[in-house]
Structure 1
Amino acid sequence: MAKAAFIILAAGDTHESMGRVVNAFMGAYEYAEEGGDSAKIIFDGAGTQAAAAFAAKDHKYNDLFEKVRGQVEGACSYCADAYKMTDKIKAVNIPLIDEFKGHPSFKKLIDAGCQVLVF
């Protein structure tokens, strides 16, 4: 069984960064469609802005976000606070991750055998 962690650093607020977020979602969606494999999505850095934006019902790609919502592990607690996104992320029911000094633990992902892909 393949394991992947899609780390989204892109804010999704420009054409280029929106493309990166959509590509991460499509990668995770492919894992879900194939079955038997494991994929996680983690929003980190400026990607915490994308977490709240794409989860909004009126976002252009909300339908794609909803297809992968079950694979969303969460958003970096430290970065959500730094980008003033904590309340917005909580409002759309995305968990905040605080595994290593306020951040997600990449070591934990790698130790679990995840291939880490950064978008």
Structure 2
Amino acid sequence: MTKAAIVILAGNESHSDYGRLANGLEAAKEFVEADGDEVEVIFDGAGTQWIPELEAEDSDYHELYLSVRDDAAVCDYCSEAFGVSETVEDAGITVLGEYDGHPSIRSLVDDDYEIITF
């Protein structure tokens, strides 16, 4: 059994950011589809800005996002800082803030998760 935490840090300002998002979601989907694997998808920093777009049904990445959404969470502090906390709350996505308002990466490492950033 493999345990991975996919952390999406890329914002949504450039073509390369879209590529990083797509690659992060594809990697997470691979873990979701693998029998016995565990995955956490965490939108952190500028990556929190993706939530409004990904929640929109007309987004190019909406279906891919839905394939991993049940395993997704968003940084509490950063969702507020980047102005998306209301969308996150409306979507019912898990909000993490175990360490000074941010997800605890140390806890994930302590739980034997491999941390992969995009």
Q: Give the TM-score, by structure 1 length.
A: 0.94
Write out per-residue CA displacement over residues 58-95 of structure 1, whole angstroms, 9 at most, x where no aligned residue.
211101001111121x1111111111110011122212
Shift of 1:12: 2.8
Aligned-partner Cα distance in 1 for 2:98–2:56: 26
Q: Sequence identity, in percent? A: 36
Query: Where do 1:19-58 residues align within 5 Å?
Result: 19-58=19-58
Q: How many residues align?
A: 118
Aligned-partner Cα distance in 1 for 2:93–2:11: 16
Q: Which amino acid aligns with 1:97?
A: L
Unmatched segments (≥5 aa) in structure 1: none
Query: Where do 1:32-111 residues align within 5 Å?
Result: 32-72=32-72, 74-111=73-110
Q: Secondary structure at the match of 1:100?
A: coil
Q: Which amino acid aligns with 2:78?
A: C
Q: Which amino acid aligns with 1:82?
A: A
Once superposed, what is the RMSD of the aligned Cα atoms?
1.0
